Chains A and B, each alone.
Chain A
């Protein structure tokens, strides 16, 4: 599928590991988002980037570190995670953060911290 692509689809990591999640969008959008989806909880907004600048950090622990080198790519760097960080991590993009338009989601990365 085209649109918003996330890699890897599944990731198992130990608590001392360092890994990165990647998101790429081919929609020409200017805003990109990281969401966390845990079982029986609302989708939680983690970070927002608009025109490569971070505009929102929703009180996310520093063990999650986002990076947005350009409007098409978004990374989430992970280090010293906890088992409770296991979840589905979804990337999304939209035309612009300041305009209410549809957010397109990627397939997500299923993260398991052991």
Chain B
């Protein structure tokens, strides 16, 4: 089955700096890669997703890149703000809706 690895497990950045989280996946059939943000005590919520026919997608300060050959994808957050502090999860799916999640990255943005 699919195996998703996520790094780093924790990430501390200064406000205004960029944050990058990387994930690798094992199943070459995976074609959908969402990123979820989970604030303390709250539910995970989708922040951006990318499909295998696209190499990069951007939404304001967040962007995701996908390298199908290397089977890895990354989340980039620019101009980080304190409200970006949360746990971020990457996930992969092979087209049958079942998401395989990474272990999560705790992002702390310090003023």
Contact = CB atoms under 8 A, between A and B. Distances in A.
Nearest to A56: B98
Nearest to A33: B98
A100 B98 contact: no
A101 B98 CA distance: 10
Interface stretch (A13-21, A40-48, A76-84): A40-48
Given A90-B44, A100-B32, A102-B34, A48 B98 contact: yes
Contact of A97 (B9, B36, B51, B98): B98
B40 to A, nearest CB: 12
A103 B43 contact: no
A78 to B, nearest CB: 21
Interface string B22-45: 000000000110101000001111
A106 B14 CA distance: 31
Contacts of B32: 100
Contacts of B9: 40
Contact of A103 (B42, B96, B99): B99
Question: For the complex, would chain A's binding face be called helix, strand, loop or mixed by DSSP majority?
Answer: loop
B46 A102 contact: yes
A106 B97 contact: no
A94 interface: yes
Contact of A45 (B36, B49, B98): B98
Given A42-B103, A42-B104, A94-B97, A100 B31 contact: yes
Interface of A: 4, 31, 33, 40-45, 48, 50, 56, 90, 94, 96-103, 105-108
7 nearest A-B residue pairs (beta carbon): A100-B32, A97-B97, A43-B101, A105-B43, A42-B101, A42-B103, A102-B46
